[in-house]
Amino acid sequence: MIQVECSTQVARPREEVFEYLTDVDKLPSWQSGVTAVTRVTQGSVRVGTQFRQQATVGPWRLDVLCTVTDVKTNERYAFQARSTGPVDCDVAFDLQPVSGGTRLTVNGRAQLKGVFRLLRPMLARGLRKQTQQELETLRLIVEARQPVAV
């Protein structure tokens, strides 16, 4: 199993960060490799909501079924991702208010399947780097958006 923990500070209130983070249609804009998202469950994001991701990882094209496992508005968002490829993941995002914005922290566990378990040490470093880059992309996008009028 590969454990990943990364965080960034976003210069926006956590309501804005949470809104963007939980909009599954926006996943391809900040998650590398995600090429398309299809909602399985309609309506607002809640525990049990499902969506499918089409993704490419190296030479593989994956179909990933994601199921939301925890939602606390403006505080926490978590889901499990089960794929047709060599890895399954459990991911949780925590949002804490800090001076000047929001601290966004992701904790993830990736379970490699089959022979790919042998590549864990090599893949772990790349996954951690990729996760940090994705958080930074998310930060840049959210900070560039027009602030929500209150």
**Three-state SS annotation for 60-129:** EEEEEEEEEEEEECCCEEEEEEEECCCEEEEEEEEEEEECCEEEEEEEEEEEECHHHHHHHHHHHHHHHH
Assigned domain for 109 exists: yes
Return the structure tokens found at 37.
């998202």
Assigned domain for 150 exists: no
Assigned domain for 86 exists: yes
What residues have CB less than 8 Å from 110, skipping those under 6 apart? 1, 2, 4, 87, 88, 89, 123, 127
Assigned domain for 46 exists: yes
Distance between CA 83 and CA 27 in Å, rounded?
16
Yes or no: say if 104 and 30 are a contact pair by the CB < 8 Å rule.
no
Assigned domain for 66 exists: yes
Assigned domain for 31 exists: yes
Assigned domain for 33 exists: yes
CATH code, domain with 93: 3.30.530.20
At 12 the pLDDT is 96
At 54 the pLDDT is 93
Other Cβ atoms closer than 10 A to 28: 16
Q: How many domains does the chain have?
A: 1
Domain span holding position 98: 2-144
* Tens-level pLDDT at each residue, the chain (150 residues): 888 999 999 999 999 999 999 999 999 999 988 999 999 999 889 999 999 999 887 677 889 999 999 999 999 999 999 988 777 899 999 999 999 999 999 999 988 777 565 566 566 677 788 889 999 999 999 999 876 555
At 116 the pLDDT is 62
Assigned domain for 21 exists: yes
At 124 the pLDDT is 66
90: β partners: 80, 109
At 18 the pLDDT is 97
